[in-house]
């Protein structure tokens, strides 16, 4: 019996031991599986864009804030590390202002940190952006890859090359639109990506990831790379449903609100537009993602040179970026949504030969050159985006180098010293505490020969421009938004009346007419083509004294009354319906080419020749002879005329 009990106990112990061993093994396998799953999960999370951005922020913060004196470095190493630290801090600040060199430096540092410190390699780089599975790539992913690959070959002309190669800047119908529009759709980007069929290297992939990290950390979100391209401009927040409208929509139409939330209806943060060759094109494949990202871009993009705070009480800012781009930012409550407008000016292309290319270009270029060399007071008019500022930059090349140039602008746009670094040029602009009028007053004391006003946008500037053109400089060039020549005269006249310089309309208009010599009117048509519509001369009408003073010779009272009535009639004609000027088109755009239509007046011909040097005077006299058959002397006197 005792033996049996012992055997039973042994069997029970063995069974329990076996069960425990089996359970332990199973638990170990489960723990191992959980650990492996956990490891994959950690790896996936580690190499996402969000985690990389956090690491980059923390690492750059450590580099810039480390106390080098605590590291026990040699004097030479300390000096080297301090220089690198200063360079990085300077680059981190400069890249937010649009400095492409600082941006390049910061991106290269990010590349090294991710590769050497964070452990990004060929395998895990695709956890940030799914390069190996095209179906998982978003429209922005595909566009970023396309733009990066084109930039390797074409630099800052990359976006232009994409637009030209695939003819994207054309009117097209999109789903749900009854009328054609300028838009680039996500489907077009997908087609381009498929056609290009890129085989990306690890370096290519990591550079695309670095750019995505940079634009969310220090850059301008989705527009960061496009803003650097050689385009006319870019804007955001100017279409789509603003955030403030959502509550109104929710109260009136819940179905429409659902469409908005499902991104079927564009929001303000989905609004990105570019200006390309004078045409506004909507980039439907790009988005800021949310309102806060659009707000972040608006709050950072104007900060160069500390122009002041954008606030609810001061709802707009006009400034320039480090590369010379003009930026305008508006915010609620002044505007219905956060929005920005970046306008770029390509100083390298600002020559008359590059701007004027249609038939008759040689004649048009010569005419504009001689108007400037002849020291004529010239206005450039037209709508926004028609090329007034660029044309003005090109015309300035023909001002004699012996003349000092003084520029007054609302925001620095011309940047003439970049184009002509050896010329005597000084630009002034308005600030919050210094008005355009005060700036123009200062110019009178700076030895200026030529006065250039970037834009006559206020009554005060228009009024002073007329006065300065009379006495303060040899001649003046300025831009204005007038649509016709009579509109230009009327606008300048009304500005002088509103500022109180004159109280009589006729007197004010007479002053304007006596000052203004020529108007160059530019046009942008529906397809974005920009050209000179006309060059108009303002010809003042001389006030001929037509009164009769022979009444004393009349013997009869009736004759004396007749003469008095004639003089009274002439007086009232002068006062009530006096024409102070006539305008003549010297050159016009006709049937796709530039054509000279009328001769410049004798008075302007004479004054132009007097202001030219011998070489230009001879060339201008030959120009006048060939085109109008008029023979002029070296002093501008007419010898022979058809």
pLDDT tens digit string along 259-315?
555 556 788 899 999 998 878 899 999 999 889 999 999 999 999 988 888 988 889
User: Residue 436: its pLDDT value, please?
Assistant: 73
What token pair was written down for 232?
């006319």
Q: Is residue 464 part of a domain?
A: yes
Q: What residues contact 45, with CB distance under 8 A and at least 6 apart?
A: 51
Q: φ, ψ for residue 563 (rounded to 5)? A: -65, -40
Which segments within 439-524 are labelled E, that is strand? 450-453, 475-480, 518-524
| Each residue's pLDDT tens digit, 534-569 | 999 999 887 655 656 666 666 677 767 677 777 777
Q: Are residues 382 and 438 in the same domain?
A: yes
- Give the alpha-carbon dihedral of 605, 606, 612, 614, to 10 degrees: 110
What token pair was written down for 188?
């077009």
Q: Is residue 166 part of a domain?
A: yes
Beta bridge partners of 233: 275, 343
Binned at pLDDT 50, 70 and 90, residue 177 comes out as low
What token pair was written down for 201?
């290297």
Q: Is the pLDDT of residue 89 over 80?
A: yes
Task: Convert 303-312 to b/e letters by CB count within 10 Å (16 or more is b).
Answer: bbeebeebee
CA count, 13 A, side-chain hemisphere, 30: 6
Q: Are residues 559 and 637 in the same domain?
A: no
User: Residue 549: its pLDDT value, please?
Assistant: 63
Task: Convert 557-581 to b/e letters by CB count within 10 Å (16 or more is b).
Answer: eeeeeebeeeeeeeeeeeeeeeebb
| Each residue's pLDDT tens digit, 353-372 | 888 989 999 999 999 999 99
| Structural domain range at position 147 | 128-344
Q: Is residue 164 part of a domain?
A: yes
Number of domains within the chain: 4
Q: Are residues 511 and 593 in the same domain?
A: yes
Strands 475-480, 530-540: pairing is unpaired
Q: Are residues 476 and 442 in the same domain?
A: yes
Q: What residues contact 84, with CB distance under 8 A and at least 6 apart?
A: none
CB 377 within 8 A of CB 537: no
Nearest CA among 285, 260, 290, 263 for reference residue 274: 285
CA count, 13 A, side-chain hemisphere, 534: 14
Q: Are residues 301 and 190 in the same domain?
A: yes
Q: Is the dihedral of CA 43, 45, 46, 47 positive or negative?
A: positive
Q: Are residues 557 and 462 in the same domain?
A: no
User: Residue 522: its pLDDT value, please?
Assistant: 94
Q: Are residues 484 and 562 in the same domain?
A: no
CATH number of the domain where residue 201 is located: 3.30.450.90
User: Residue 470: its pLDDT value, please?
Assistant: 75
Q: Are residues 492 and 449 in the same domain?
A: yes
Q: Is residue 92 part of a domain?
A: no
Give mean pLDDT, residues 573-597: 84
- Among all chains, which residue has been given the structure tokens 């004529």? 376
Q: Is residue 207 part of a domain?
A: yes
Higher pLDDT, 250 or 556: 556
What token pair was written down for 468?
């300065």
Binned at pLDDT 50, 70 and 90, residue 466 comes out as confident
Q: Are residues 633 and 519 in the same domain?
A: no
Binned at pLDDT 50, 70 and 90, residue 248 comes out as low
Distance between CA 624 and CA 631 in Å, rounded? 7
Nearest CA among 410, 582, 379, 409 for reference residue 481: 379
Structure letter (DSSP) for residue 114: I
| Each residue's pLDDT tens digit, 66-86 | 888 777 778 888 888 888 889
| Each residue's pLDDT tens digit, 8-56 | 777 766 666 666 666 555 544 544 443 343 333 334 567 889 999 999 9
pTM of the shown model? 0.76
| Each residue's pLDDT tens digit, 194-241 | 999 999 999 999 999 999 999 999 999 999 999 999 898 999 999 888
Q: Is residue 78 part of a domain?
A: no
Q: What residues contact 627, with CB distance under 8 A and at least 6 apart?
A: 363, 596
Q: Is residue 340 part of a domain?
A: yes
| Each residue's pLDDT tens digit, 204-213 | 999 999 999 9
Q: Are residues 231 and 209 in the same domain?
A: yes
Q: Is residue 112 part of a domain?
A: no
CATH number of the domain where residue 522 is located: 3.40.50.300
Q: Are residues 249 and 140 in the same domain?
A: yes
Beta bridge partners of 380: 479, 520
What token pair was written down for 228?
């650097």
User: Residue 41: its pLDDT value, please?
Assistant: 37
Strands 181-184, 279-283: pairing is parallel
User: Residue 238: its pLDDT value, please?
Assistant: 92
Q: Are residues 464 and 326 in the same domain?
A: no
Helix, strand and coil percent figures for the chain, each rounded to 5: 50, 15, 35
User: Residue 430: its pLDDT value, please?
Assistant: 79
User: Residue 259: its pLDDT value, please?
Assistant: 55
| Each residue's pLDDT tens digit, 112-139 | 999 998 989 888 899 999 998 988 999 9
Q: What residues contact 553, with CB distance under 8 A and at least 6 apart?
A: none
User: Residue 260: its pLDDT value, please?
Assistant: 54
- Helix, coil or strand: residue 482: coil
Q: Is the pLDDT of residue 178 over 70?
A: no
Q: What residues contact 379, with CB distance under 8 A and at least 6 apart?
A: 456, 477, 478, 479, 480, 482, 488, 516, 518, 519, 520
């Amino acid at each position: 019996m005792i033996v049996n009990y012992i055997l039973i106990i042994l069997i029970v112990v063995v069974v329990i031991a076996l069960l425990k061993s089996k359970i332990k093994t199973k638990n170990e396998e489960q723990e191992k599986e959980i650990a492996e799953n956990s490891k994959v999960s950690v790896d996936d999370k580690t190499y996402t864009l969000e985690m990389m951005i956090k690491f980059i922020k923390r690492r750059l913060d450590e580099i810039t804030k480390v106390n080098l004196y605590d590291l026990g470095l040699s004097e030479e190493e300390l000096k080297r590390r301090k220089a690198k630290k200063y360079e990085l801090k300077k680059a981190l600040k400069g890249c937010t202002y649009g400095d492409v060199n600082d941006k390049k430096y910061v991106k290269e540092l990010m590349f090294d940190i991710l590769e050497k410190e964070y452990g990004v390699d060929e395998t895990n780089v695709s956890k940030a952006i799914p390069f190996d599975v095209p179906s998982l790539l978003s429209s922005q992913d595909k566009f970023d890859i396309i733009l990066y690959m084109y930039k390797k070959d074409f630099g800052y002309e990359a976006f232009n090359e994409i637009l030209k190669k695939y003819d994207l800047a054309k009117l097209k119908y999109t789903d749900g639109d009854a009328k054609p529009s300028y838009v680039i759709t996500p489907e077009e980007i997908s087609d381009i990506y498929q056609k290009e069929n890129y085989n990306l290297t690890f370096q290519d992939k990591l550079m695309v990831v670095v750019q995505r990290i940079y634009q969310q950390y220090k850059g301008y979100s989705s527009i960061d790379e496009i803003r650097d391209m050689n385009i006319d401009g870019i804007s955001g927040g100017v279409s789509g449903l603003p955030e403030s409208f959502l509550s109104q929509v929710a109260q009136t139409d819940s179905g429409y609100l659902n469409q908005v939330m499902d991104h079927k209806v564009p929001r303000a943060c989905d609004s990105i537009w570019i200006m390309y060759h004078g045409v506004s094109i909507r980039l439907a494949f790009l988005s800021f993602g949310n309102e806060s990202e659009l707000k972040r871009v608006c709050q950072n993009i104007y900060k160069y040179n500390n122009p002041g705070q954008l606030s609810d009480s001061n709802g707009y800012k006009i400034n320039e970026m480090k590369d010379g781009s003009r930026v305008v930012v508006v915010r609620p409550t002044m505007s219905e949504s956060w929005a920005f407008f970046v306008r770029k000016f390509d100083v390298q292309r600002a020559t008359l030969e590059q701007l004027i290319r249609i038939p008759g270009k040689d004649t048009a270029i010569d005419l504009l050159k001689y108007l400037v060399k002849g020291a004529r007071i010239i206005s450039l008019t037209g709508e926004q985006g028609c090329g007034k500022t660029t044309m003005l930059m090109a015309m300035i090349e023909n001002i004699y180098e012996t003349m000092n140039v003084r520029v007054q602008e609302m925001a620095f746009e011309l940047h003439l010293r970049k184009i002509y670094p050896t010329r005597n040029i000084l630009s002034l602009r308005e600030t919050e505490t210094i008005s355009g009028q005060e700036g123009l007053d200062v110019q009178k004391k700076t030895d200026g020969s030529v006065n250039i006003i970037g834009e006559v946008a206020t009554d005060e500037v228009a009024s002073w421009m007329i006065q300065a053109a009379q006495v303060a400089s040899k001649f003046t060039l300025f831009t204005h938004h007038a649509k016709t020549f009579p509109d230009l005269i009327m606008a300048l006249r009304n500005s002088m009346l509103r500022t109180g310089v004159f109280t009589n309309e006729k007197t004010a208009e007479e002053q304007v007419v006596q000052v203004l010599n020529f108007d160059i009117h530019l046009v942008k048509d529906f397809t974005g083509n920009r050209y000179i519509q006309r060059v108009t001369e303002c010809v003042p009408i001389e006030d001929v004294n037509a009164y009769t003073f022979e009444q004393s010779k009349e013997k009869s009272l009736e004759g004396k009354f007749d003469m008095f009535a004639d003089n009274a009639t002439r007086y009232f004609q002068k006062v009530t319906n006096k024409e102070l000027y006539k305008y003549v088109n010297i050159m016009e755009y006709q049937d796709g080419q530039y054509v000279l239509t009328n001769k410049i007046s004798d008075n302007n011909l004479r004054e132009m020749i007097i202001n030219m040097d011998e070489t230009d005077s001879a060339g201008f006299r030959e120009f006048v002879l060939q085109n109008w058959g008029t023979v002029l002397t070296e002093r501008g006197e007419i010898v022979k005329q058809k």
